[in-house]
Amino acid sequence: MRTLFTAAIGGFVGAVVCASSYASAQDIRIGAMREGSSWYVFAATLEGMIEPQLSDANVEIIARGGGIANPMVVQNGDAEVALANVATSVWAANGHELYQGASAPDIRALVGGLNSVYMAAMVTNDFVERTGLDTLEEILASDEAIRVIMKPAGSSAPPTADMIMEALGTSRDEIIANGGDIIQVETAQIPQVIRDGGADLYFDTVLQGHPVITEVTLTGDVRFLDLPQNVLDHLAANGLAPAAYGPWFDNQTEANMGADFGTVLIANASLPDEVAYEITRTLIENADAMGEAHAAWAGFNPENAWRPENTGVPLHPGAEQYYRERGWIE
């Protein structure tokens, strides 16, 4: 897990940006993920919203990073704001062992509760028919050579998949030792690998309307698996809330149990209060546009954006000022 994190944040090391630099350059870099991801869509929509409001700003999307890396991207000053998971923001702020002794004490929340992001497991129907194994417990406890596919390091999915395996008494090393494989490829490649029969078990983060998950379910002949209770308990102890999701996709006939990472827009504490205020105000007051950009944000409730359970880390003073003016924080 530590090796994965090292790879995830390679190239993101830099000095923390001080407030005076904003006064001169007004660069606002938005940490997201790769093009085509839901976070990239969010960042592009936010970019279009805030550029007219911050007329002196040069707004740029950083199309890399992910749930694990982005808290450190902001901490290190490589982005002024970024999308992050509530769970991984808490991990980073607290110096979770995943971060190899590093921590992110300077990250602050702007807008929380943006959408739920669920950790999910899927298995191919070919594997089920061949082995007779149709629950996650049975699959990971079996002697079958299981080919597990997931995103590369940088996403929240791989370390959370490790937690799932740990809760069920196995690990990547044990799967490989048993003749299986751990396949990590870019998001866009996953549907093809599954379609070609190159993987059996798929771990990923899932939200409504996700294009890659939609493609996988339409072309890969997979079924969703519930996360068992002992896995849910283990994930809850690591900041992920047990929650049901769906049915949203082809072959998902009913809701499945997963775990919710949560999504929050974070900033460095050094971001000037007036800039933090304006980004928060613009996003909150254009919430409908976010829902139109991607179905995942259609359920966002602005009045709950400040709540600790939706942010994970303390509010930026500029964001807090906005919420107090709205009367949502007394």
Residue 232 clears pLDDT 70, i.e. is over it? yes
pLDDT at 110: 98
Q: What's residue 180's pLDDT?
A: 98
- Contacts for 20 with CB less than 8 Å, ≥ 6 apart: none
Q: Average pLDDT, stretch 95-102?
A: 89
* Homologous superfamily, domain 2-115+262-326: Periplasmic binding protein-like II (3.40.190.10)
Report domain extents, the chain. 2-115+262-326, 118-260
Q: Which candidate, 123, 264, 124, 117, places its Cα nearest to that of 205? A: 117
Residue 177 confidence (pLDDT) above 80: yes
Q: Which of 136-145, 190-199, 214-223, 230-239 has the lowest mean pLDDT?
A: 230-239
pLDDT at 26: 66
> At which residue do the structure tokens 């607290």 appear?
94
CATH fold group of domain 118-260: D-Maltodextrin-Binding Protein; domain 2 (3.40.190)
Tokens matching residue 317: 């003073």
The predicted structure's pLDDT at residue 15: 29
pLDDT bin (cut points 50, 70, 90) of residue 201 is very high
pLDDT of 127 over the 80 cut: yes
| pLDDT-wise least confident of 29-43, 108-122, 288-302, 313-327 | 288-302
Which pLDDT band, with edges at 50, 70 and 90, does 292 fall under? confident
Q: Long-range pairs for 128-133 at CB < 8 Å and ≥24 separation?
A: 128/223
- Whole-number pLDDT of residue 1: 40
Taking residues 87-108, report their average pLDDT.
93
* pLDDT for 213 beyond 60: yes
pLDDT of residue 2: 40
For residues 74-88, give the mean pLDDT: 95
What is the pTM for the complete model shown?
0.74
Q: Enumerate residues 6+ apart whose C-beta is below 8 A from 316.
A: 108, 109, 110, 267, 269, 271, 273, 276, 280
Do 2-115+262-326 and 118-260 have matching folds? yes
The confidence band for 24, taking pLDDT boundaries of 50, 70 and 90, is very low
